[in-house]
């Protein structure tokens, strides 16, 4: 299947190996869930995740939980309590039984999927978008991308150095940053590799697989412009290098205009400290830029008059075009949307009313409009956007739909505030060619069969 699914003119051997392993993982996870009961409730439409499914998904379930009544098979992040036959007739359990930090219901078992790679510490994990609600991704389900594992960093021993073309080089601790004026903003992060299996033919079956490398959090920190003003950026400065303190020592260059515009030195996520996976204790947030530039475990900023041409912006994260030249510094994430319900591997129990729902986003600003088609793009209906609609943030759209029980192809397309319209795949390929894998933002199609089965198709 390898050459057929992931042809070598587009996929390098490493990318192909990873993509194949992901396809295999998704199949095993879905198969393991198939023995779970089908019901006609909304949940029944989702490919169910049994415990075996979780294991096939490569999720580590070995972690011990602090609670008392813990059974070993409670889903990750939950505590397994005995179910009360009639909760109105006996006292509920006491508060703080969980040690004072809450857990989710033992009946919820959505988890991130690990994007299988040769080594466990250089990998991705993907957000389960199909079961997501609203626009915020729970911190424990935020997608991850690590090039050298997740470092464990003591914030007291961590600092951020600001140097190069500045009048006053700085060394700031996390505590120093927390004393400065702060900002809190909701933004998505999307890995530019999101969807890389989907260029040639529909390959993964679920929206978690096809689109799960994007998530939204509320990020809190100090505006990078505040720190740069403190340091005094010199005339002629044009780029700034950000460096992480993980084993990958990830480095990316960022234009100084962006740094002075809406960049954030983030120490918090969804109201608490960053998760270690998201860069604890400090990460760079470059709203709307490709995920790779949002350097985690940030330790150094070097101001310069030119880009640094690091590995990540020369060998990786460039897009080889049909004329043999490569686009570099394709930093903005183009407008994109996807229907998350219904989506691949679900099964609609019967004809009738459904609320089609999904996410739209743009790295260039606000989502202006989302249109939905149920006939493979022949006709489009504008879908109302759920407030709030925030710049460079996931935006939820919903559209009532009465399914008549015949074949349907569901699609969504997003227009952002710059007027850019999300392209069809063939139009994207016509411009970009078939040499590169990053930045796939084409319209996604879900086929609904008369049986109610939903599958990933190219339409
Ligand atoms: N230091 C460091 N920063 C990093 C990475 C990394 O491996 N090391 N991965 C990058 C990539 S490729 C992406 S897509 C985002 C992912 O952020 P997340 O793991 O918080 O979702 O972090 C970026 N920042
Ligand atoms: Mo990424």
CA pair distance 86, 84, nearest whole angstrom:
5
CA pair distance 367, 328, nearest whole angstrom:
25
pLDDT of residue 43: 53
Query: What is the mean pLDDT of the segment spanning 38-52?
Result: 52
3-state DSSP percent of the chain in helix, strand and coil, to 5: 20, 30, 50
* 103 occurs within a structural domain: yes
Do residues 101 and 67 make contact, with C-beta atoms less than 8 angstroms apart? Answer: no
Buried b (16+ CB within 10 A) or exposed e, 211-234: bbbbbbbbbbbbbbbbbbebbebe
| Atom of ligand 1 minimally distant from the CA of 297 | 1
Do residues 392 and 334 make contact, with C-beta atoms less than 8 angstroms apart? Answer: no
Q: How far apart are the first and last CA of the chain?
A: 22
Residues 240 and 375 in one domain: no
Residue 291 near ligand 1, beta carbon < 6 Å: yes
Of 81, 113, 145, the residue that ends a domain is 113
Query: What is the mean pLDDT of the segment spanning 126-141?
Result: 97
* 224 occurs within a structural domain: yes
Query: What is the mean pLDDT of the segment spanning 114-136?
Result: 85
Task: Please report, for residues 204, 223, 228, 241, 304, the alpha-carbon distance to residue 113 in angstroms, rounded to integers and kept in the order given.
Answer: 13, 32, 38, 31, 39
- What would you report as the CA-atom Rg of the chain, rounded to the nearest whole angstrom? 23
pLDDT of residue 34: 66
- Asked which of 81-95, 228-242, 360-374 is least confident by mean pLDDT, the reply is 81-95
pLDDT tens-digit map of 360-411: 999 999 999 999 999 999 999 999 999 999 999 999 999 999 999 999 999 9
What residues have their beta carbon closer than 5 A to ion ligand 2? 145, 191, 291-292
Residue 53 near ligand 1, beta carbon < 6 Å: no
Cβ neighbourhood burial of 369 (10 Å; 0-12, 13-18, 19+)? middle
pLDDT of residue 38: 47
Strands 159-164 and 298-304: parallel
Q: Tell how far the Cα of 312 is from the centroid of ligand 1, in angstroms.
A: 11
Residue 300 near ligand 1, beta carbon < 6 Å: no
Residues 321 and 344 in one domain: no
* 291 occurs within a structural domain: yes
Q: Tell how far the Cα of 191 is from the centroid of ligand 2, in angstroms.
A: 4
Residue 278 near ligand 1, beta carbon < 6 Å: yes
Higher pLDDT, 327 or 122: 327
* 343 occurs within a structural domain: yes
Angle at 13 between CA 11 and CA 14, to 5 degrees: 95
Percent of the chain having pLDDT more than 70? 90
Do residues 214 and 191 make contact, with C-beta atoms less than 8 angstroms apart? Answer: yes
* 144 occurs within a structural domain: no
Residue 244 near ligand 1, beta carbon < 6 Å: yes
pLDDT of residue 124: 85
Q: Tell how far the Cα of 143 is from the centroid of ligand 1, in angstroms.
A: 10
Does the pLDDT of residue 163 top 60, yes or no? yes
Residues 160 and 215 in one domain: yes
Q: Tell how far the Cα of 355 is from the centroid of ligand 1, in angstroms.
A: 34
Residues 63 and 166 in one domain: no
Residues 198 and 59 in one domain: no
Of 113, 132, 166, the residue that ends a domain is 113
| Atom of ligand 1 minimally distant from the CA of 278 | 20
- Give the total number of structural domains in the chain: 3
Q: Tell how far the Cα of 438 is from the centroid of ligand 2, in angstroms.
A: 9
| Atom of ligand 1 minimally distant from the CA of 279 | 20
pLDDT of residue 97: 83
Q: Match 């480095």 to its residue by tokens.
A: 251
What's the pTM? 0.92
Of 41-55, 91-105, 179-193, highest mean pLDDT = 179-193
pLDDT tens-digit map of 321-353: 999 999 999 999 999 999 999 999 999 999 999
Angle at 317 between CA 311 and CA 323, to 5 degrees: 110
Query: What is the mean pLDDT of the segment spanning 126-144?
Result: 97
Buried b (16+ CB within 10 A) or exposed e, 294-328: bbbbbbbbbbbeebbebebbeeebbbbeeeeeeee
CA pair distance 345, 347, nearest whole angstrom:
7
pLDDT band of residue 35 (cuts 50, 70, 90) is low
Residues 175 and 291 in one domain: yes
Of 58, 84, 113, the residue that ends a domain is 113
Backbone φ/ψ region at 140: left (φ over 0), alpha (ψ -120 to 50), beta: alpha
* 363 occurs within a structural domain: yes
Query: What is the mean pLDDT of the segment spanning 37-60?
Result: 48
Residues 317 and 187 in one domain: yes
CA pair distance 346, 334, nearest whole angstrom:
28
Nearest to 24 by CA among 44, 48, 6: 6
Residues 50 and 94 in one domain: yes
Higher pLDDT, 263 or 39: 263
Nearest to 217 by CA among 273, 262, 159: 273
Instruction: Report the CATH number that the domain containing residue 445 is assigned in CATH.
Output: 2.60.40.650
Residues 341 and 378 in one domain: yes
pLDDT of residue 40: 44
Q: In this structure, which ligand is nearest to the CA of 144?
A: 1
* 122 occurs within a structural domain: no
Which domain, by its residues, includes 433? 336-457
Residues 177 and 94 in one domain: no
Element (H, E) at 457: strand 454-457
Residues 193 and 56 in one domain: no
Q: Match 């005339």 to its residue by tokens.
A: 235
Query: Which residue's alpha carbon is at the smallest distance from atom 18 of ligand 1?
Result: 144
Instruction: Report the CATH number that the domain containing residue 287 is assigned in CATH.
Output: 3.90.420.10
Mean pLDDT, the chain, rounded, equals 90
* 150 occurs within a structural domain: no
Residues 109 and 198 in one domain: no
């Amino acid at each position: 299947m390898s050459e057929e699914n992931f042809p070598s003119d587009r996929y390098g051997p490493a990318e192909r190996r990873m993509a194949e392993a992901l396809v295999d993982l998704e199949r095993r996870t879905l198969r393991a869930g198939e023995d779970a009961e089908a019901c006609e409730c909304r949940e029944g439409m989702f490919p169910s995740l049994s415990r075996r499914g979780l294991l096939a998904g490569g999720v580590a379930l070995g972690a011990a939980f602090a609670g008392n009544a813990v059974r070993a098979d409670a889903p990750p992040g939950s505590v397994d309590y005995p179910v009360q036959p009639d909760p109105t007739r006996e006292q509920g359990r006491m508060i703080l039984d969980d040690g004072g930090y809450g857990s989710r219901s033992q009946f919820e078992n959505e988890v991130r999927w690990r994007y299988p790679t040769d080594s466990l510490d250089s990998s991705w994990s993907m957000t389960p978008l199909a079961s997501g609600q609203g626009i915020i991704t729970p911190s424990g389900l935020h997608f991850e991308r690590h090039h050298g594992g997740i470092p464990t960093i003591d914030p007291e021993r961590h600092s951020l150095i600001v140097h190069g073309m500045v009048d006053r080089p700085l060394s700031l601790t996390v505590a120093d940053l927390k004393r400065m004026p702060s900002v809190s903003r909701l933004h998505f992060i999307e890995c530019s590799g999101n969807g890389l299996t989907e260029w040639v033919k529909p390959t993964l079956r679920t929206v978690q697989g096809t689109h799960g490398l994007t998530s939204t959090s509320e990020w809190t920190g100090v505006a990078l412009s505040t720190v740069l003003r403190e340091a005094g950026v010199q005339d002629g400065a044009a780029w700034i290098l950000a460096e992480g303190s993980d084993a990958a020592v990830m480095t990316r260059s960022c234009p100084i205009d962006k740094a002075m515009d809406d960049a954030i030195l983030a120490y918090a996520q969804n109201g608490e400290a960053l998760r270690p996976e998201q860069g604890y204790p400090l990460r760079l947030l470059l709203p709307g830029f490709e995920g790779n530039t949002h350097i985690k475990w940030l330790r150094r900023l070097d101001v310069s008059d030119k880009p640094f041409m690091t590995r990540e912006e020369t060998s990786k994260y460039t897009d080889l075009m049909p004329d043999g030249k490569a686009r570099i510094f394709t930093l903005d994430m183009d407008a994109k949307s996807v229907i998350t319900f219904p989506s691949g591997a679900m099964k609609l129990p019967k004809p009738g009313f459904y609320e089609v729902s999904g996410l739209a986003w743009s790295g260039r600003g606000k989502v202006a409009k989302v249109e939905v088609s149920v006939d493979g793009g022949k006709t489009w209906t504008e879908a109302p956007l759920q407030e709030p609609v925030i710049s460079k943030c996931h935006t939820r759209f919903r559209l009532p739909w009465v399914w008549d029980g015949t074949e349907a192809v569901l699609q969504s397309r997003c227009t952002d505030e710059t007027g850019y319209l999300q392209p069809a795949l063939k139009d994207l390929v016509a411009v970009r060619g078939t040499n590169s894998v990053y930045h796939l933002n084409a319209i996604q199609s879900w086929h609904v069969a008369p049986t109610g089965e939903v599958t990933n198709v190219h339409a």
